[in-house]
Amino acid sequence: QGTYPTVFLSFAGIKADNLEDAKSQIKLQIAGLYEQNRYLLETNLLSDNEKNMYQSMTMTMSDVECCAAINQMCLYLSRYYKKNVIVLLDEYDTPLLEAYTDGYWEEMIGTCRQLFHAAFKENAYYSRAIITGVTRVTKNSLFSDLNNIEVDTVTCDAYSDCFGFTEEEVIDALQCQNVQEF
C-alpha cells in the first residue's frame, strides 16, 4: 500500500436515462481525477502541450479526449513517480446496466469499449488493473481485446482469504458469541 501511484474511478454514480447525460457523468468523474492530481501541472515533467491537454480535461472535454484521459493520466503519474500505475475501476458496469434499461445499450457499449480499450489495451503506463462490477466479465464481450484478463467472482477460491470471511473464520466468530447452531 502506498508504493504505487493509483488511478481510482468509480462508475457507481453513472445513472442516466440517456447517452449524453451518461457520458457527461463519466466526464465528470475523469475531470475529478485530473483535479485530484493537479500538482502534476506544477512540475517540469509535462510539456506545454501536455499541460494544455491536461487543462482541457474538464466537463466539456470531447469524447475523444475522454477516451484517452485515463491513459494520459497513467503516463503523467508514471513519469512523476517513475513507476507504472495501478488502475482501479469500480462498478464499470453501472452505466451499461442503465443503458440497457433505458434503451441506449448499443451507443453506451461503443463508448465504454473505446474508453476501456484506451485505458487498458493501449496503455503502457499501468502495471495492473482491477475492474469490479456485478455483471460477469466475459472474454468475448466488452473486454474481448484485453490480454491476460483473469476473471474472479465471489465464489472463486483464489482470493477467499483476502476478502470477506473464510468458513473457518465464520465458525470461530459464531463460537466466540456462543452460537452453537449454524
The C-alpha angle with vertex 181 and arms to 178 and 162, in degrees rounded to 5, equals 75
- Rounded Cα distance between 79 and 50, Å, is 12
pLDDT digits (tens, 9 = 90+) for 128-169: 998 888 876 555 466 666 666 666 666 677 776 776 777 888
Question: Looking at residue 140, what is its pLDDT?
Answer: 47
